[in-house]
Every structure is written in C-alpha cells, then in structure tokens.
Amino acid sequence: MKPMGLQQKDSEAEMSGRKPQLILFGSEPAALEELKPFSATLPYVDYEVGYGPQVVAKAHLDAFWVTLMGAVELFGAAPPFPLHRAQVLQTPPVQLAKGFPRYGIAGVAVPQGAPRTPEGDLRLVISALLEAVQGFNSQNEDQILRVGILPDDLELKRLKPETAFKIIREVYEAA
C-alpha cells in the first residue's frame, strides 16, 4: 500500500486529466532542497533523493525521462526518432529486473542546426513529455502518473530556477 501522501498525489494526477506528477531526483540532497522553494506552489512537482532503481522504489515511479541516447542504451530504441516528440517505451525485462520503472519516456529530437535556447529546450521537453504521457494514458489501462526526471533535463544548470519553474508551470497548465 502506498503512503497517504502518494495516494493523494496519485488522485491529484488523475483529477488533472492524467497529467503526471514530475519527480525531480538526484543524489545531492542539498541541490534538490535549493530547488524546492521555486516549485512550492506546483502540486505536480516533487523531489526524491536517490538514483536509478533506488529512486524508482522510493518514489513509486511509473516511468522516467531518458535522453535519446539513454533510450537506445536502456530501452533498445532505434533511430530515427520523431522530431519534437517524446515516446513512451516499455521497459525491457532485463531492466525491470534491475529495478527500473515499467516505462521510459524518451525524447526529444530536434533538426540538426535548429536554433536552440535553454528556455525553448525546456518548453519542448515538458510539452513533449506531457503529450506522450497523456496520449499513452488515454489509450491504456496501465497509467503513468509519476515520472522521474533529472534536474539537468529541465535545463536547471542553464536557467535560473525561477525561470525554469515559471516555464514548467506555463507549459504544464496549458497542456
């Protein structure tokens, strides 16, 4: 049975049209603590200290975000990847046995030479993630409600936290 906080957050995700809760994770507790004040008003953002299978178990993740290279290495995905989109991938049995979540969300390919900014990249990652999960959830009984993602994948090394979480709020609430 899930702890009460997780049950509440799962039902919040269900009530918000199957948008997932984003779980930022990493092995540095101080770095995660520094981010919390910037997302305090975002009920769909939470934090967990840990990495890999450890964080999957502690945070009850249904999926985690992976780069395209991670999709190839961990999930056996093969290029070409669709431009500007993320894909929900089923976790191979060998990775499930290692403690990975049931799904990976892989993205996002952009055309070579396309102009890019940290703000634009963050908007693309969040919108592609939400679109992929909502599409998956609308067609499957097995739902993705909790997605783990590294702060680096949210451009938090290149953007000020207040800017990054403002963008996350805008994209999430518009989806």
- Evaluated on CA atoms 21, 154, 170, 102, the torsion sign reads negative
Give the pLDDT confidence of 48-99 residue by residue, as tens digits. 999 889 999 999 999 999 999 999 999 999 999 999 999 999 999 999 999 9
Position 18 scores a pLDDT of 67
Is the pTM higher than 0.75? The answer reads yes
For 66, the enclosing helix (H) or strand (E) is strand 63-66
Tell me the pLDDT band of 9, cut-offs 50, 70 and 90: very low
* 175 three-state secondary structure: coil
Alpha helices (H) along the chain? 4-15, 29-35, 53-59, 68-75, 93-97, 118-139, 161-174
Q: How many CB atoms lie within 10 A of CB 138?
A: 10
pLDDT in tens, 93-118: 999 999 999 999 999 999 999 999 99
